[in-house]
Structure formats: C-alpha cells, structure tokens
Structure 1
Amino acid sequence: MTDTLAQEETSTPGTNILHAQIAFLHIPKTAGTSVRAALVRAYGRNEVVFIQPQNAPDDLSTYRVVGGHFNAAFIKSRIPDAEVVTILRDPTNRVLSLYRYWTARQIPWVTRLTLEQFAETSHPGCIRHIDNSQAWQIANSELPRDRRKMAGTSDDELFAMAVTNLEKCAVVGTTERLSEFSRAMHVRFRIPFHIPHLNASQSGGGSSQISECAREAIERRTAVDRRLYDYVVARERY
C-alpha cells in the first residue's frame, strides 16, 4: 500500500506505471464523486469510465481508469491487473452522511426513521451499506448474498482479509486527508492530480452532534470498519 504521503515507489516489474490501468474502488460517501472528477481532469473523459458492476461493459481493457461502486471480487474477476486506489472514511461520519444523503433524496423507508432508528434497523440496505461495509467491500463483497456465502467469518478474519487487499493497493487514502491522497496519486502515477476543497458538510459529518444511543449503535455495526480506518490512518506519515 502506498501511504497517502507517498514515497517515490517503483512499479511492479513488467508494469509501466505511466500506462497502467487504474481501478478506483469507490466506497459510498467517502468523497468519491470529487475523486471521480479529478480522475476525469487528469486523464480525459474518453479514458475514464464509471460503471455499475451489473451493467459493466464486456471489455474494460480499453479504458485507462475504471471506477465505480464495485468491490474486490469484481476487480479480481474483471480487471485483476489494475492498480487499485481507494478511500476510506471515519465510519461514524460516513454512516451519518449516508443517512442525511438518503433522507435528502427522499428514500421512502429512510424518511420514516429517526437517526437512532436508522442506526438500529435490519433493513437490507443498511446491512449492505452500514454493517462493516467498508471492510467487506475491500475484503471481498459488501452484497448481502455474498456475505451469506461467508457466514461464520469472524471480525478478525474479515479485518485480515481487508488488510491483505489494502496492502496490494497502489494508493489508499482517507476522506479526512484528501490533500495527501492527491499527492500520493501524483507521486504514484506521475500525473497532476487535484481534488477541490470539500465544503464542511461533505468533509465533516457532524458526528459530535448525534445522540449517544445512535453513536453506540453505529460503532457496534462498524467495529471492523473502525479498525480498518485506524489501520490506514496509522500508516499515514506526515
């Protein structure tokens, strides 16, 4: 894993980093939309494609950058040789941002819930997007059907799988330190890369304002995500 304050790093033997394909594993509500815009500016619209895994083109090899809400399993099966980049976010802030986003978009089952109820609900959408979803997306797949196939996986095993895949990534950053992620992208891929400054509502999340009940529920459901986020932060060197 390239730390977000990237050091000069040689690419894998046989790989020309100037022409390597990039896979942007976009975890929802981690400032990925801003990263997508930066990728388009860096490589040009014709070189970049953003996909939904279920509707992905048959041939992805013609694109320099492939991005989307896909997971490690998709990368392994469809673009196994790509240089993977991703961003994690403080888990509590990410869940709070997700709730606010879904509420603003008038998602029916969400608008009926308080934040405390949202943090406790067993709705499939919450299982997919809250329950250690960052760890599952990086380790294998956040989709409920794929999680069921791995029933019995312990938190320690999930964490270990996610760390193994993170260590294979070209660049890993955090939403809270996007300037360092930009610098790492520049160093690794030797391109101008700039992510515009996020406004407070995007970058913060206001987790200090939520009730203790909601906080405890979120922390319980994102315990592995917290370990993974702390692991990434500890790897950052400034």
Structure 2
Amino acid sequence: MDPLIFIHIPKTAGTSFRLGMDAVIGEERVCRDYGASSVETSPIVKQWVKPGGDLWQFGCAFRAAGYQFLTGHFHAIRYAGLFDVAQMVTFLRDPVQRVVSEYQHHVRNYGYQESLETFYRQKPNINRQQRLLGGVPWVGLGFIGITERYAESVGQFNRKFGFNVPILDKNQSRDSIAEPYRLTESQKTELERLNAEDIRLYRTACEQLDWRIRLEGKEQGYVAGAFMREERGRLLGWARAERGDDPVVLRLHVDGKPFIEVKACEYRPLLREKGVGRGGFLGFSVDITDLPKGAQVECTVAETGQPLVGSPWILKK
C-alpha cells in the first residue's frame, strides 16, 4: 500500500489520530514533520526538508526507511511533488471552535498573554484550515474526517484503507471536544466573518462525509469531484470514482431541467501533476454558450445522485 500523508491541522484531534496510527502500524513506520525545532520531527525531515534541502532525497530516504505514514503541521503543497493528493488525509474542525482552542493552547503552553481578539485577528490564524490545504485540489484528498464526528470519521477511514485505528481521546485541556467554547455574540460574529472561507470548507467536508456514509450503506462507491471554472464558453469540472477505474458518468440539470450526461475522461494535466487519479483523465466540460447568465447548473453522479462539490454552479457569463 502507498504511504499516507496526514496533514495535521492544529486542534482538530490530530494527536489522537496520529497516536492511533502509531499503535496500528508501529512508531518506527511513522515519519514526523512538526518543524525543525521540534523534538518530535524525524531526523530525515531535519536533514532534507529545509531551505536549500533536497526534497527528492527526502522521498528516497523515506521509502528506503520503510515509512508508511507521514504526519505533521505542514501545508499540503509541501509534499505534493512527492506524494499523490489521493494519498493525503486530514481532519477539519468547526473553524470558530478550532481558533479558540488554539488560542487556549498558546495561553496554556507558550505563555501567550494577549487577548483572544488579538489572537484571532492575526493573519496566520485566519482561515488556517483552508490555507494549510491550499495549492492542492483538496476535494481529491484521500480522506477528510470531521473532528466533531471523530469516531464516525475514523470508522470510515478504517474501512476505506483497511486499518483498525482505535478511537482515542488525547485532548488534555478539557473533558471532551464536544463541549463548545462559550463566546460573546460579537466574538462569534467576528470570528465567522474572518473565517468565512474555512466555514465554507468545513461545511462542504461535512456534506461529503454524509455522502460517504450514505453510499456505504447502499454499498455504492463514493466519487470525489468538483466544478472548476468557466472558460471560453464551457463549464469545466472533474470527477474520480474511489472504486474501480472506469470514468464517472455525470448528469447535469439547468434550472432544474435535464440538460446533458457526460463522462469524466478528459485530460487535466494539473490534476495529473497533483496525483488525483486516472493519470489526469478525469475531466469533463459542457458547452454553456446558449445558457443565460445566472442559470443554475447542477451536476450529480448518474449512478448515485451524489452532487459534485460546487454544485449548483451559477453561470457568470
């Protein structure tokens, strides 16, 4: 099996997940990248993953050492040249709660003395989940779990990848991650405004987890896919089935009326470069030149009815 790359977004129960993987595959097969100054970071990361370092040599050393899992607080794009996006996994958490949890972590562990408002208004702490996944087609990640649905998510992960990761709770600051932090209305409103991109990402990931569970119950396969953009009178997107290698058949409706069926088998070089699947032959495009501006285009998997991310799409041109 290809190694998995875990993008450990801070305060998303990632430590519980990482320790669960340690227990299942053995710590000696887990490589860690938590920064050059961290005692947790593996020696080969400190040796090769640095300014002026040779990432290719890191990949060779990683495989030669028999590692099967890479974890750390890094941006997905850092390792996108070595590992396919389909090998990457992560957990997302309610953005408002995650920011407050990280603030409490800094106060407790690093002596942070500024106010919560000062912390959450700093640019590095705004839309952090989206930024850590930026630069790669996040929809194509091998798996995205939800912190608030941790046991459910780990169960889905185990069934997809054939592991038996235990359900651990290593949150040391509170009794349960299910207990939300209390905020004033003004704090909550400002946090939601600042982290609007993270909120959209989180809600979409929740919907996709719902579809995984629904399709599993019907013994049907999940499809990763999304609308991409409008270009030269065509609407472009992509789709990849997790089961098998046949192209996905998609059904499009315009303003609620049947429009066309297409196969997702066009070549997309960027998606090939990122390792999304099918060698990049997973794109589709439809002619929209005769459709009016503002028309609503829905796209679903013909076999299951699962909508693609970004559907419905409101035409701009």
TM-score if structure 1 supplies the norm length? 0.71
2:162 to 146, 169, 190: 190
What CA distance in whole angstroms lies between the structure 2 residues aligned with 1:81 and 1:96? 29
1:177 to 113, 128, 149: 149
Matching residue of 1:203: 177
Q: Is the 8 A contact 1:170 1:188 kept in 2?
A: no
Matching residue of 1:118: 119
Task: Give the residue type in structure 2 aligned to 1:204.
Answer: A
Task: Give the residue type in structure 1 aligned to 2:206.
Answer: V
Q: Quick one: structure 1 residues 82 and 234, their matched pair in 2 at CA, closer, same or farther if it must change by over 3 Å?
A: closer
What CA distance in whole angstroms lies between the structure 2 residues aligned with 1:185 and 1:96? 27
Gaps of 5+ in 1: 1-18, 141-160
What CA distance in whole angstroms lies between the structure 1 residues aligned with 2:31 and 2:20? 13
Displacement after TM superposition at 1:32 (Å): 0.7
Aligned residues between the structures = 187
State whether structure 2 residue 27 is matched by structure 1 residue 45: yes
SS of aligned partner of 2:2: coil
Displacement after TM superposition at 1:181 (Å): 1.7
What CA distance in whole angstroms lies between the structure 2 residues aligned with 1:118 and 1:213? 15
SS of aligned partner of 1:184: helix
Deviation readout 1:150-193 (Å, 9 max, x if unpaired): xxxxxxxxxxx6xxx22211111110011122112211221211
Q: Is the 8 A contact 2:120 2:126 kept in 1?
A: no
Task: Considering fraction of residues, name the structure with more strand.
Answer: 2
Task: Considering fraction of residues, name the structure with more helix.
Answer: 1
Q: Is the 8 A contact 2:91 2:146 kept in 1?
A: yes
Matching residue of 1:212: 185
Matching residue of 1:157: none
Displacement after TM superposition at 1:82 (Å): 6.6
Matching residue of 1:15: none
Matching residue of 2:9: 27
Matching residue of 2:132: 137
The structure whose Rg is larger is 2
Q: Percent identity?
A: 27
TM-score if structure 2 supplies the norm length? 0.54
What CA distance in whole angstroms lies between the structure 1 residues aligned with 2:21 and 2:127? 27
Coordinate RMSD, CA, aligned: 2.1
Deviation readout 1:79-134 (Å, 9 max, x if unpaired): 34771110000000001101111111143xx31x22233333x3xxxx22x21110
What CA distance in whole angstroms lies between the structure 2 residues aligned with 1:90 and 1:205? 12
Displacement after TM superposition at 1:195 (Å): 2.2
Task: Give the residue type in structure 2 aligned to 1:177.
Answer: R
Between the two structures, name the one with larger relative contact order (CA 8 Å, sep ≥ 6). 1
SS of aligned partner of 1:77: coil
Matching residue of 2:98: 94
Matching residue of 2:80: 76
